[in-house]
């Protein structure tokens, strides 16, 4: 059952990382073209928020288990 607690939030963290990575790649490509890419900063910020939600979900079960013991 301990493996079950550590796996919570992994998919959300991977999704957040992928969104941040795509936002960074898009912003770098548009900067190479000479156009400032402010809208891609929102994509990076959204990906960071999704990643943070995954971190919170991953740590949530471990604290619940510690409170029970």
pLDDT tens digit string along 32-59? 888 877 888 999 999 999 999 999 988 8
CA angle 58, 16, 9 (to 5 degrees): 15
User: Phi/psi of residue 35, each to 5°?
Assistant: -110, 125
Asked whether the whole model's pTM tops 0.75, one would answer: no
Cα distance between residue 62 and residue 31, in whole Å: 42
Distance of alpha carbon 35 from alpha carbon 25, whole angstroms:
14
3-38 tens-digit pLDDT: 555 578 899 999 999 999 999 999 999 988 888 778
Q: What pLDDT is stored for residue 46 in this prediction?
A: 95
Q: Tell me, what's the pLDDT at 7?
A: 78
How far apart, in whole angstroms, are the C-alpha atoms of residue 33 and residue 18?
Answer: 23
């Amino acid at each position: 059952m301990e493996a079950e607690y550590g796996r919570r939030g992994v998919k959300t963290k991977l999704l957040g990382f992928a969104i941040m990575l795509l936002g960074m790649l898009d912003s770098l490509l548009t900067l190479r073209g000479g156009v400032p890419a402010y809208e891609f900063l929102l994509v990076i910020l959204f990906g960071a928020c999704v990643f943070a939600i995954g971190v919170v979900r991953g740590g949530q079960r471990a604290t619940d288990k510690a409170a029970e013991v």
